[in-house]
Amino acid sequence: MSSSYKQIAKSSGLVAFVSVFQMAFGLLRNKIIAVLLGAKGFGIYGLYQVFIETAISFSSLGLDKSGVRQIAKRGDDITSRDKCIQVFTKGLLCTSIITSLICAVFSRNISKSLFGEESYYIGIIIASIAVCLRSISQGQVSILNGLRDLRSLALSQILAAVFGSIISVLFIIFLGFDGIVLSFVSFAIASLVFSSYYVKKQKIENVKFSNEEFKGEFRNLLSLGLGFSISAAVSSIFIFLSRSFIGNEFDLATVGIYQASWLISNMYIGIILSAMGVDFMPRLMKSIDNLPNVRKMVNEQMEFGSLLSGVGVMGLLLFSNIILTILYSSDFSSGSSIIKWQVLGVSLRVLGFPLAHSVMAFNKPVWYATIQCVFALLEYLLLRLFVDLYGFDGLGISYFVAYIFFLVLWILATKKLFNFSFSKNLLYIISFNWMAIVLAFLIVSHFNGINLYIVAILFFSVFLFFVSILMKKILGISLIGIIKKKVLKR
């Protein structure tokens, strides 16, 4: 394995383990909500979640993303780094509190827009507390990420997942529908407690600085962060509008089914993207002035992510129906027709992710914000168009078509920025994945019942065999060797 792939695999492996851990508890939480409250209850849960994520995108102003870049960039100058951390922390605290207060003041309007009635306004006020806590917690995680203390970052998120999930589930069990919004608050508290604990363990000095120095430092963080913030805010608004559209066009149960399908189709890719994102930006910043090396790093990241993501894409294509039933309930099985298209979209997302991060590494927040906003608008318009054309199935098809545009936009941007082009290895991996995807579509279209699962298991096994060969040939990673090593250790 080359040193570059080794670094990617090492850092990605740790973060991926954390993500799997978080996913396991998240799935358990979702399962309990789905079983106890049904599709409608999960729809309400999903709408609160959309509100919280939308509000967080405003409250952070992208500081949680720009903070990672700036802290990592100043890693060799401890005084400058610690000053940046203090400005970052105080600035994020102010923006988080202000945003939460605004949400509480306009809670009736938000409830009316999101749920179609004002009766959920108390829930919105309570959820505003979760917005503030989650935003501050994300800032603490950004500090650990910028300092590249991946061990502390991992421990904080594992503990938050365990305790946050247990407490939030208890609220659902004992309070039913009334416990939904409290579950978000409890999880936010757990996240803040553990992330803050591990940040306090870092040796961060209390550096004194003037108001002018604060303004200058905060301006630098904000100028880059706005690229993330504006795009995230616009994306969240359109997600908000799309969920409202689905609820009005269909019903809350359909919102729940769509949300469940979206979560499943994104969960595996989410693990890979989280793992890639934690280490990629700090590594990229160290080579930002060497364009050939930047192109090489971006391609390697895409090769690694694309090959690993193919396994999840194939599994979801072949077994989406049974996965929905196991993780949620039989009420959600109709979502399989959505997942098979959504998962194709997220397979393109994993290719666009390193391209998007490289644009921000080059300090091009306007480029980043423009592309993300154009994509968010396209995704929403395509959703409405394909629902009109294909009804329920259009919910998934629109997602796939939107991510075709997503990838094209980022390719054009990076081509102009640092003359990016796909490596031969990457083109080979993409061709392999899509040949397998076409075959998987044919299988799920022509088989059903027990015959489908027999053929699917056989095909998935063959696919895994060829993936292991490609990983050995291209990445220098031997899956069989790793498995034997683990077994022999036992």
Q: Which is more confident, 154 or 431?
A: 431
* Sign for the pseudo-dihedral over CA of 152, 156, 157, 161: positive
Write the single-letter amino acid at 55: A
Distances (CA, A) of 314 to 15, 29, 69, 352, 469: 22, 25, 34, 19, 17
- Per-residue pLDDT band at 334 (split at 50, 70, 90): low
Does residue 488 surpass a pLDDT of 50? no
At 339, is the secondary structure helix, strand, or coil?
Answer: helix
Mean pLDDT (whole number) for 17-28: 69
Cα-based angle 458, 464, 467 (whole degrees, multiple of 5)? 145
Does residue 329 surpass a pLDDT of 70? no
Does residue 201 surpass a pLDDT of 90? no
Does residue 278 surpass a pLDDT of 70? no
Name the burial class of residue 288, with classes exposed (0-12), middle (13-18) and buried (19+) by CB atoms within 10 angstroms of its CB. middle
Does residue 240 surpass a pLDDT of 50? yes
Answer for the pair 34, 170: CB distance below 8 angstroms, yes or no.
no
- Per-residue pLDDT band at 490 (split at 50, 70, 90): very low
Does residue 411 surpass a pLDDT of 90? yes
Mean pLDDT (whole number) for 211-223: 78
- Among residues 91, 94, 190, 199, which one has the least CA distance to residue 134? 190
CA distance 117 to 61: 29
CA distance 108 to 336: 35
Answer for the pair 258, 397: CB distance below 8 angstroms, yes or no.
no
- Predicted local confidence at residue 4, as pLDDT: 58
- Predicted local confidence at residue 486, as pLDDT: 44
How is residue 462 written in tokens?
Answer: 């063959």
Name the burial class of residue 321, with classes exposed (0-12), middle (13-18) and buried (19+) by CB atoms within 10 angstroms of its CB. buried
Number of domains in the chain: 1
- Predicted local confidence at residue 122, as pLDDT: 92
Q: Distance between the two ends of the chain, CA-based, in angstroms?
A: 24
Mean pLDDT (whole number) for 267-292: 72
Does residue 472 surpass a pLDDT of 50? yes
How is residue 330 written in tokens?
Answer: 């039989």
CA distance 306 to 470: 12
Q: Residue 256: in which H helix or E strand, if any?
A: helix 252-285
Long-range pairs for 432-440: beta carbons < 8 A, 24 or more residues apart:
432/310, 432/466, 432/470, 433/306, 433/307, 433/310, 433/313, 433/347, 436/310, 436/314, 436/463, 437/313, 437/314, 437/317, 437/344, 437/347, 440/314, 440/317, 440/318
* Sign for the pseudo-dihedral over CA of 266, 243, 248, 379: negative
Q: Which is more confident, 17 or 141?
A: 141
Does residue 237 surpass a pLDDT of 60? yes
Choose from 2-11, 142-151, 204-213, 460-469 the range with maximum mean pLDDT: 460-469
Percent of the chain with pLDDT over 70: 87
* Residues in contact with 210: Cβ distance below 8 Å, sequence separation at least 6, in sequence order: none
Let me know how long the chain is.
490
- Among residues 128, 127, 132, 152, which one has the least CA distance to residue 141? 152
Range with the poorest average pLDDT among 141-155, 247-261, 448-462: 247-261
Does residue 40 surpass a pLDDT of 80? no
> Which residue segment(s) compose the domain that 480 sits in?
3-489
Does residue 327 surpass a pLDDT of 50? yes
pLDDT, tens digit, 9 for 90 and up, residues 347-362: 888 888 889 888 887 8
pLDDT, tens digit, 9 for 90 and up, residues 79-125: 778 888 888 888 888 989 999 999 999 999 988 888 878 888 999 99
Choose from 69-73, 251-255, 458-462 the range with maximum mean pLDDT: 458-462
Answer for the pair 128, 107: CB distance below 8 angstroms, yes or no.
yes
The DSSP code sequence of 120-171 is: GHHHHHHHHHHHHHHHHHHHHHHHHHHTT-HHHHHHHHHHHHHHHHHHHHHH
- Predicted local confidence at residue 1, as pLDDT: 46
Rounded to the nearest integer, the mean pLDDT of the chain is: 81
* Residues in contact with 433: Cβ distance below 8 Å, sequence separation at least 6, in sequence order: 306, 307, 310, 313, 347
* Residues in contact with 377: Cβ distance below 8 Å, sequence separation at least 6, in sequence order: 234, 238
* Residues in contact with 264: Cβ distance below 8 Å, sequence separation at least 6, in sequence order: 316, 320, 323, 324, 327, 335, 339
Name the burial class of residue 413, with classes exposed (0-12), middle (13-18) and buried (19+) by CB atoms within 10 angstroms of its CB. buried
